């Protein structure tokens, strides 16, 4: 876990911890289902969808495929990925200008991504990365984390409601 | 517009479902060639009718969920389309679209077309709209014209069909 000493980082740390907690118990199972869903969406064999394959660079996914994948994950896991939820998680309380300058991610944005996406090689989350390049970082592990975060939130809601 | 494939939207429940009708008149031009001596509605046009209804449902659903500018949905995927029975001239299709999901930039619907009590076609459709990830984004220069056109088509289709939660104009 990276050292956290800013309010910005503390905000995403909660999401990271929620996902970590679920993954500690269910990582292999969630990853398997996610890889299966990706294989179906992209018309690939499951063996081609490796945990760290870049969906866009290695498997030729397009934005349309990501949408299809989100719907499949929602029904496969019984979760909701609320509209704007992913953007709220990545950008948080940062303003547009605090998040990116002319499309290039700020240090504050990179700090958030390093916490939210521990599966990504930190060497890629460096100065110069653009907002448009973020989807090229997505791998089956990324979506496994997304699912785990939503499962964790759902469990917390249920616990609070009961 | 030749390929407006709904005559009327009879029910609109944002966030849930919509129902519309389409009468297959003998004067539809496609019956001449599809097929000579055996006129049936082309399956792709039934899917198009479903997509048009699903698009309206998504527009209303997004507006009900968060207000703001009306989104313009475009068809992104057609899955599990099944054409179970022929639709003949003089028959009225009742099309039903159910919203099964709404994420950033897209909505998904299950659609059925029925003639009387017979289900003639079913499909699952995904439509994208102009916010979110980029799929299905309408070029900015076309947006105003399209929005105006969509509004006009919508008024004709909706007639006095009530929309829960929407103030009557």
B85 is catalytic: no
- B140 or A145, which is more confident? A145
A161 touches chain B (CB under 8 A): no
- B16 or A87, which is more confident? B16
Substitution target from B64, B71, B80, B104 for chain A, most A beta carbons within 10 A? B104
Substitution target from A67, A86, A91 for chain B, most B beta carbons within 10 A? A67
Under the banding of pLDDT at 50, 70 and 90, the label for residue A21 is very high
Q: What is the pTM of this model?
A: 0.84
Residues in chain B where the model's pLDDT stays below 50 = 132-134, 169
B76 touches chain A (CB under 8 A): yes
- CA–CA separation, A35 and A40 (whole Å): 9
Short-list A48, A38, A54, CA closest to A136:
A54
């Amino acid at each position: 876990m990276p050292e956290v000493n800013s309010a910005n980082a503390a905000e995403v740390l909660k999401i990271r911890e929620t996902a970590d907690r679920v993954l500690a118990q269910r990582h292999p199972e969630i990853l398997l289902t996610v890889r299966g869903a990706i294989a179906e969406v992209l018309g690939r064999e499951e063996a081609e969808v490796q945990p760290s394959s870049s969906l866009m660079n290695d498997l030729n996914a397009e934005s349309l495929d990501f949408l299809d994948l989100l719907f499949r994950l929602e029904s496969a896991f019984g979760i909701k990925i609320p509209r704007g939820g992913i953007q709220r998680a990545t950008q948080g309380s940062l303003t547009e200008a605090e998040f990116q300058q002319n499309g290039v991610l700020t240090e504050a944005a990179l700090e958030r991504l390093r916490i939210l996406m521990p599966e990504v090689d930190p060497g890629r989350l460096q100065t110069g990365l653009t907002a448009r390049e973020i989807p090229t970082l997505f791998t089956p592990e990324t979506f496994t984390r997304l699912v785990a975060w939503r499962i964790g939130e759902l469990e917390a809601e249920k616990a609070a409601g009961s | 517009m030749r390929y407006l494939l709904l005559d009327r939207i009879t029910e609109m429940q944002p966030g849930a479902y919509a129902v519309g009708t389409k009468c297959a008149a003998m004067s539809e031009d496609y019956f001449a060639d599809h097929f000579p001596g055996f006129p049936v509605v082309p399956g792709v046009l039934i899917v198009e009718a479903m997509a048009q209804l699903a698009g309206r449902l998504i527009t209303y659903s997004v507006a009900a969920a968060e207000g703001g500018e009306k989104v313009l949905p475009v068809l992104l995927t057609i899955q599990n389309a099944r054409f179970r029975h022929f639709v003949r001239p003089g028959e009225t299709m009742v099309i039903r679209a159910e919203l099964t999901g709404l994420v950033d930039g897209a909505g998904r619907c299950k659609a059925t077309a029925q003639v009387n009590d017979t289900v003639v076609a079913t499909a699952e459709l995904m439509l994208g709209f102009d916010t979110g990830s980029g799929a299905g984004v309408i070029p900015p220069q076309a947006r105003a014209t399209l929005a105006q056109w969509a509004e006009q088509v919508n008024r004709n289709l909706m007639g006095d069909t009530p929309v829960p939660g929407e103030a009557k104009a």
